[in-house]
């Protein structure tokens, strides 16, 4: 019965989603402005979580500065939400115009050398438009995803994210898929800045002034498959337009020390966040787990 209700709800919602998605961008941003007022001033969506994350990350900033970042964050959040809906019907031409890789030749360089790539990114600016990566790189692109509880909706979300050439696989099959497809013409996309499940915490770092549990799977896999490790920085040029710059973190991951790749990833990400903090996903309960006293020096 639950599956039937979910399927029914999905099929009722899809015409509404597609109806919004076909609207031109200038109307969509008007809708975004409306939802900004709704979420920030009336609903107060996760305001306490966002505020606490910010004051703990930037103890040197004043209350006024923190509130300003929080307000800008809500602007960013409603824009990327409406842009994600637009993703359902956006064309290849339009998304390439709005999400530009500034140096795609870096990927070509490694492709020509027969090297697969581990492409790391964070929840910064519009990460969802990263689905257009296959339009810019020569590699076959693969990405992990977390299954939605609603199977009917999950099917459509996967279809949208694969429309430009990605192949998606569920999180629990990560190792199996990557080890099975380890030829030197693959790009694997990972977003490693969210909190791992409590029972999967293996490593802690100091990130944004806080003891932070982090994922180490990307590092393990890059070493197992000997992939080049690349980080992509997504920056908003103007409303609805983004530029993506790739940088090589490690060409030979197997020669790195333990946790060196993970540490570097978070170092680069933190530097980006500090420059424009409003663009990161502060509504995530990133620091819900505390390091056990037994693991402290």
Encode pLDDT of 86-133 as tens digits: 999 999 999 999 999 999 999 999 999 999 999 999 999 999 999 999
For residues 144 and 77, membership in a common domain is answered with: no
Does some domain include residue 289?
Answer: no
Average confidence (pLDDT) over 166-172:
87
User: CA geometry: angle at 52 spanning 60 and 37, to 5°?
Assistant: 110
Higher confidence at residue 79 or residue 149?
A: 79
Handedness of CA 123, 160, 230, 80 (dihedral sign): negative
Q: Could you tell me if 178 and 205 lie in one domain?
A: yes
What is the per-residue pLDDT for 247? 98
CB-based burial label for 54 (10 Å; 0-12, 13-18, 19+): buried
Determine the Cα–Cα distance for residues 247 and 249; give it in Å rounded to an integer.
6
pLDDT for 3: 56
For the chain, how many structural domains are there in total?
Answer: 2
Tell me if 190 is assigned to some domain.
yes
- For the stretch 90-100, pLDDT in tens is 999 999 999 99
Flag whether 292 is in a domain: no
Is 245 inside a domain boundary?
yes
Residues 109 and 78 in one domain: no
Has residue 253 been placed in a domain? yes
- pLDDT interval class at 297 (50, 70, 90): low
The residue-averaged pLDDT of 192-213 equals 93
Mean pLDDT of 153-158: 82
Domain boundary among 89, 109, 133: 89
Question: Is 296 part of any domain?
Answer: no
pLDDT tens for each residue of 29-56: 999 999 999 999 999 899 999 999 999 9
Same structural domain, 38 and 137: no
Both 108 and 242 in one domain: the answer is yes
Same domain, 40 and 63: yes
Of 89, 106, 141, the domain-final residue: 89
Query: Does residue 41 share a domain with residue 135?
Result: no
> What pLDDT, on the 0 to 100 scale, is given for residue 4?
53
Q: What is the mean pLDDT of the chain?
A: 92
Assigned domain for 85 exists: yes
Q: What's the pLDDT score for residue 152? A: 74
Distance (Å, whole) CA 197 – CA 289 = 9
Residues 77 and 212 in one domain: no
Cα 153 from Cα 68, distance rounded (Å): 35
Check whether residue 47 and residue 177 sit in a common domain.
no
Q: Is the pLDDT of residue 10 over 70?
A: no
Are residues 42 and 132 located together in one domain of the fold? no
Instruction: Using the Cα atoms of residue 108, residue 110, residue 116 and residue 122 in order, give the sign of their dihedral.
Output: negative
| Residue 294 domain flag | no
61 is in which domain, residue-wise?
1-89
- 3-state DSSP assignment of residue 22: coil
190 and 262 assigned to the same domain: yes
Domain check: are 82 and 202 in the same one? no
User: What mean pLDDT comes out for the span 179-197?
Assistant: 87
């Amino acid at each position: 019965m639950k599956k039937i209700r979910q399927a029914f709800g999905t099929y009722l919602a899809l015409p509404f989603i597609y109806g919004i998605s076909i609207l031109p961008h200038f109307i969509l941003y008007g809708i975004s402005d409306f939802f900004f007022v709704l979420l920030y001033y009336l609903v107060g969506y996760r305001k306490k979580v966002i505020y606490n994350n910010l004051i703990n990350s930037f103890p040197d900033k004043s209350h006024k500065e923190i509130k300003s970042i929080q307000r800008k964050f809500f602007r960013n959040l409603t824009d990327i939400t409406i842009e994600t809906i637009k993703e359902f019907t956006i064309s290849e031409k339009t998304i390439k115009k709005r999400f530009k890789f500034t140096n795609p030749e870096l990927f070509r360089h490694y492709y020509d050398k027969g090297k697969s790539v581990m492409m790391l990114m964070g929840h910064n600016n519009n990460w969802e438009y990263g689905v257009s990566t296959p339009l810019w790189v020569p590699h076959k692109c693969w990405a992990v995803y977390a299954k939605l509880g609603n199977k009917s909706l999950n099917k459509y979300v996967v279809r949208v994210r694969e429309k430009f050439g990605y192949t998606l696989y569920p999180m629990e099959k990560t190792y199996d898929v990557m080890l099975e497809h380890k030829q030197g013409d693959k790009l694997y996309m990972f977003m490693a800045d969210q909190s791992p499940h409590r029972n999967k915490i293996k490593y802690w770092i100091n990130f944004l002034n806080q003891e932070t549990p982090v994922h180490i799977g990307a590092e393990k896999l890059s070493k197992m498959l000997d992939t080049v490790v690349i980080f992509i920085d997504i920056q908003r040029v103007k409303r609805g337009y983004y530029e993506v710059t790739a940088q090589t973190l490690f060409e030979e991951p197997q020669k790195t020390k333990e946790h060196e790749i993970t540490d570097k990833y978070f170092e680069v990400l933190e530097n980006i966040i500090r420059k424009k903090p409003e663009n990161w996903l502060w509504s995530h309960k990133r620091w819900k787990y505390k390091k056990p006293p037994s693991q402290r020096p």
